[in-house]
Amino acid sequence: PFDVLVIGGGPAGASAAIYAARKGIRTGIVAERFGGQIMDTLGIENFISVKYTEGPKLVASLEEHVKQYDIDVMNLQRAKRLEKKDLIEIELENGAVLKSKTVIIATGARWRNLGVPGEAEFKNKGVAYCPHCDGPLFEGKHVAVIGGGNSGIEAAIDLAGIAKHVTVLEFMPELKADAVLQERLYSLPNVTVLKNVQTKEITGDDKVNGISYIDRETGEEHHIELQGVFIQIGLVPNTDWLAGTIERNRFGEIIVDKHGATNIPGVFAAGDCTDSAYKQIIIAMGSGATAALGAFDYLIRNS
Ligand code: FAD
C-alpha cells in the first residue's frame, strides 16, 4: 500500500506529493488531468517570486519537480469512491482499487460557466473568472461582472478600484450579496447595477468588445460596449464523488482543520476543494504542504 496517496494533480496535489516524498515514504498521485486549473490559465503574475509565467509553463515545472522524486504518478485516472477500512481504499473509474495508509484529497474546483455565446470563445481574451488574478489587466477599462452574490459584488468593488467603470448584471430582481457589500458598492461613483437582466451574448472580434443582455421585465435587448467580463456565478468544488463519506459544508467544500485533516482519520485535503478562505495557486500549494505534513504526523503516531 501507499503511505500517502494524493488525489488530484493541480498545485495543491503536486505540492502535497513533493512534501510527502521528501519524507522518504511511499507516495502516489492519481490525477484526472495533471496540472489542474492552471492548464487553462494564460498569464500568471501573482505566483510570488516569479514575475510572470504562463499556465502550461508552470505545469511543466510542477511536473519536472514531481519527477525529481520517487512518486508514482497515475495521470488520466479519475477517483470515484473513497472507503475507510483498515487502510483507506480509493476506487478508480477504471475499476482498480488503490490502498493507502493516508489520503490527501486535492481535487480542486471549477468555475461555473454562464453558457452563453462568446464565453468559451473569448476565455482569456476578455472573459475572466478571477479578479485577484486578472483584475489588473483591465486598468482604465470598462468591465462587467456577472452575478450579484457575495463573490460578484466583492469582485465589482475590487475592480472599481482598477477599472474605469464596472457594470454589474444580476439575473434576479435583487442582489443576493450581504447588505454591507451592497452599501459599499452603491457608494462607488463608477459602478452601474443592472438587476433582473439576462446575459445573452458576449461579443467581440479577436477579443471582447461588449455584452448583450435582455431586460427581463420589458423583454428588450440592450448592448454595452466594454472590454472585459468577469463571471462570478459560483466556484464548484470537485467533491461530488465524496458524498456521504467526508464532511463538507453547504457549498460542497471539504471541511479541514489547520493540519489539513478531515473528519475521517488519515484523510486530509488541500486546495480549492476545501473550505479555505481564498482560492489561489500559492494558497493551494501552501495547503498541500500543510496536508502532507499533517499526514506524515498522523503516520508517525499511528503506524
Ligand atoms: P486544481 O487546479 O483544480 O486541480 C485539481 C486536480 O484534481 C486536477 O489535476 C484534476 O484533474 C484533479 N481531479 C479532479 N477530480 C478528480 C477525481 N475525481 N479523481 C482524480 N483527479 C481529480 N490562481 C492564481 O493564484 N493566479 C492566477 O493568475 C490564476 N488564474 C486563474 C485563471 C483561470 C482561468 C482559472 C480557472 C483559475 C485561476 N487561478 C489563479 C486559480 C488557481 O488556478 C487555483 O486556485 C488552483 O489551481 C487550485 O489548485 P488545486 O490543486 O486545489 O486544484
Residue 64 neighbours by CB under 8 Å, 6+ apart: none
Residue 135 neighbours by CB under 8 Å, 6+ apart: 158, 159, 162, 163
pLDDT, position 303: 77
Residue 143 labelled as part of a binding site: yes
Cα(271) to ligand 1 centroid in Å equals 8
pLDDT, position 42: 83
Q: What is the pTM of this model?
A: 0.94
pLDDT, position 122: 97
Cβ of 135 closer than 6 Å to ligand 1, yes or no, is no
Regions of the chain short of the pLDDT cut 70 = none
- Which run of H or E residues covers position 211? strand 208-215
pLDDT, position 112: 94
Cα(190) to ligand 1 centroid in Å equals 32
Residue 183 labelled as part of a binding site: no
Cα(36) to ligand 1 centroid in Å equals 4
Distance (Å, rounded) from C-alpha 167 to C-alpha 208?
15
pLDDT, position 178: 95
